[in-house]
Structure 1
């Protein structure tokens, strides 16, 4: 019986391949069909079977994993290589494209194919598309282009039209044709990263879903956001090209440049045409030189920081950039490694990844789901480039949105913009972020019950019925005994009391109502000998240690509302500032002290003063801060001595503006709980000789949880910096700090205090000087914010600058600061920007907004003397008088309340 025709043809093909394998393949410049080969042909050679005319490039059956130490022959690919460096610049990549023992590369008149002759079907694993003419030859050019040509030498197919992970010098990358990384340096099949063009940009993306039907991609780098990118036009992007000078996004005509990114160190002329752009297996985009006789060199790479890549560390690991590379560790809430990533420390598990389009029981998804917080200041890639899944809602709504979605593995919520980002598919590593970082929450499932919990219900019922009554009786007896002992202790004379330790319930204390805070509670009425123990705080010092450190509190360097500040030196030779609290007999003073510890001790940011330690020995309560050797901003900004014209230069002033804004933005949005400073002024901005700018004095801070309304009524702050809502019995939010900061910005520009001087203030201001300010024709009112509004509308920003600088400032930067300051001073708190936006506008990463004149009317009216807002006038406002000086009481007044009225003696 004769064998079937298809089986006979396979036997003939295999026999011909075996015979051909005995002959050594010699590289040629043209290859003619029919031609078949496998890796057997290249066991003893370098795999090349086609050379370009100048031998710059070769087509080969390439074993990416083969080294001198390893003769592995298990992974072969059909690739175009740079001959000298053996760097692949194109590979036939598709499922099953690896050349194993039974896979054949075939060149025929219909094109190129990779197929397995032993398979049931002879369908190719990879092939060139249908061609318009029969193939006459396969050739390779010195540009690296692999082409199929017809009998007239016309190109039927080109590898340049189907790039893989590399863009060659002069090769265009068009819309809809991505560069896809290889899985690894040894596996050239498609990986998880790609470079893709859009009509507006070039983006690096990471495939977070392995589903081939609906892959999900996450953008983690954009060419337009790179610091070296320059935009030349607003045309739509049509293609991308690379040459020795840089990367170019081109318009439709192929000549007009939309974006250009120039390399910092262009390659030498000898290798200028050997430049390639490659998406490497880690997801980084690299520009490489492939000069003959030279090693491959990186000219440029992006992202530059390892921690800006999606997966430099295992899943959910915290990536920290360093000089010698990045380091990886689990966040505190995820302290154990599981399957190459971080997992919850409490034994709960992370849910399995489900494709976003999969159907599931949403009701079941909500049950038994909890979340673990990644902690403050930890960022993730979706919050940089991805569109929010929801916006405008509070954090609980974001949580519920994730809980009801089976494929959601967690979410990030940015409080400043009320944006919600859901996590699907694979989750990458996280990194340390800035003040406006979104807060991350990872969905967890409860741990499986232990084997002991599977006992029969009857046994549990019996044990519960016997043990519970007994335990309840014992606990009741102990409680009665403790209550009796407490009563006896309270009746004991004061001199017989023992020194004990007490734990203050800070959250409960900090949320006391205004009525309750008017008198000390029983929990605050503590003896002088009782200690204050607060877990998780910095070093605790004894009073004797701090007395020795300050040489008997001899070096006083400042004075605040609740204490004096002294310079000290610890035994480790480090200099500190020791704040000794005064007036602790009042309940407010004790609350003030505990508030500062609770806030400063748990908040860490480069622009916030660091609490080194504290002392709590009865009435002796002190705080130990890091020392800022340049003192407070007011000492540097307002200092005038004789005829000296020395002043803080403009670049330093702008640096202070940006640093202080970032510190406040972190307090408002970067902590676990929102913190209001409530006393933003130059005296509470500290400087050092290394350019450090830090916000200090959190004694008037207010902690706010997301569930709270954000309102409190006790008036706090300093005259001249208080927002209008303080005097209008209106809700107080973080926008009150924004208003105060706007006043500080104007003082930084002018170099003088803003407030209109009253006769009783002349002596006070004489110590800080009164010269300088705007031009003489605009200083009659003496109220600089009103002058700033007027000159801003006239575009005369240079006249607002401190005259001591004699014009040494960038007028555009001065205008930017003035515009931001006036936006902060809007009468309507809801229309003031957040501190995160203020910070972005000041550092130039966001355009400065234009202030609204109708929201600054009250500044003009006060500056022109149309209203009297001294403390006595505040009483008039409280009585509800309808008019004064012809102004309706519906107008919101500026903040001019004495400091004693607000926070006690200073």
Structure 2
């Protein structure tokens, strides 16, 4: 008897302690049973998304958060996991539902083989094969759901035209196929479709020379993923692998209509968004459904206009806005006075409009009012066009108030739903039409005045050396000599040359950078300067013109009267300057992030600044931040040895990859921005001398307080102490994103576009892990000593001085603590 129990115990111990990775004739899945891949990476079994009563067969990471990667029966759930079973039957892997054992899902093979087994592999692939045979009869990698794992091929069969698609879930609690999908087309480009038909994003075709997709330039800067593209007469496909076995990644066609790449951050036990497209939520086709208004500045992104309500409130609560909005009161066309028009300001106009003949706003309004099928209208003043909508209004977007592309959109409502007040009383439409007539007369007068002013402006600009069409002006050296009074008032200097203040004949102030060490030829220099001149953004210093005469190379910029950011942050006791208020600091940080995001993501070629620091952030008369010297990397050419020696940037702001010698990406700018953001918060250099003559490393203290739930106000500039207008939520947000930016691994840092969304409050950000390099310094309990001459701002002694210096090789830095 004892030997029997011992044998039984031994049998249960052996079989219970080893993970089962195979479904066979002797093992089926039911209830809470699961199978686990041999290496313990993936697990598979029944799961229930959210509070629903539906069960599905799915696969997830076993050791990570239960993120569903693949679903077998995504459009046919079962009601009871205990009576349902996944088993090998009739030459297939099949899911049977309930007591009646109704077939719900199967691998769909025409096979008579009886000795089969389904194995969950450690790459996340579920394969069906003959026992004791390596030939695969069916595999889940050929039937992806919404997740693209490394090794999966999203392919196009060129003979049949069939494509494999990544298809989003309907909503976070329903894995059934949603409206958004990703597929490969015949032009070798990946595209995102709405409802399998309307394309709203494309990767551009694969370029065999550059080994990237034409519209995804950031692939050049990737050093985590190994991409492969294959194409011949029968098939085309794209796949990827990961260089490091320590990195866990997944690529998802998200319910938001965006494709998103996530990497797992082990320190925080959370997924980190690495990359996404389209970058803006409102670029997703029909994301807010019919009559829904999308706004990048609100959460949630979608809302219904006045007089409308969500068609399905339950779906909206699950972030599924595809059903759109419906009117609270139906329109009645028996009496034209019953229906009125609600003006919606600063709108990007909806799709699928009909164009009427050139006409005025008043005639446009009357035409829509008299047509019962007309649900909305708008008037394009620049082209004098009338646009009307007779179907559902799609892709309506609210723009920022200062966006020049915004229009007024007039939406038809029942009179009872028009808001009462100055913009919505019963007389508003008549007043609006009357105002439009008066406005039209005013426009005619205004056009005549503009013509006169333009003629005078062109004449004046010709006198000042600027082209009348707004393009870059080609100045002569003598003109800039006169404008700067023979370069007499020096504003600052750096590794690329010196900057001087000047004035054009029209009395506008300029800053002239006299470049040094530029060996490019005349044609090449002009070509690259013109390219930089086309880069325009409110948070980038505008290049107005240039001079190229032999070895004399000069750039002409707008003059920034409030100088550089460092002159306002790091004040000496003798300086009588007003301390920057928190709101202004936050806006400076946000504006700088927007400028960098534009350089990284919106330009034709990604531009890496390489020297982000307060000295290179200039402030105009309204303290609007302008990133300076963003194009000088282009002018020195692409000789890499020169880049490493001349464009290393400034110690204290350098990302770890500069020191390790690996290739530099846009994430180096993200690191520098994070360091600078900490200085904006604290109002002091990150390395600050204390009473005992040692230098305290501020980022280590900031990370300690942030990760250990300390008093976040301790990080704030002491000069702002007691300031009630300091927004603690903004302060916390700024400190969090700064610590994310200075992570050691560049894959763990956000992109600048994500930084912008976090600072705007559009994206929530979790507590960051403690950077390992900083953690090492804290663990040794040593003071970190940095002596950084470039951080002394000795050349920026006045608020009226302006620095257009980029990375400076002449500024040396030393580190007296070898352990640091």
Is this a same-fold pair by TM over 0.5? no
The answer to which structure has the higher strand fraction is 2
If you compute each CA radius of gyration, which structure gives the higher value, 1 or 2? 1
Higher relative contact order (CA closer than 8 Å, sequence separation 6+): 2
User: What TM-score do the two structures reach when normalised by structure 1?
Assistant: 0.39
User: What TM-score do the two structures reach when normalised by structure 2?
Assistant: 0.43
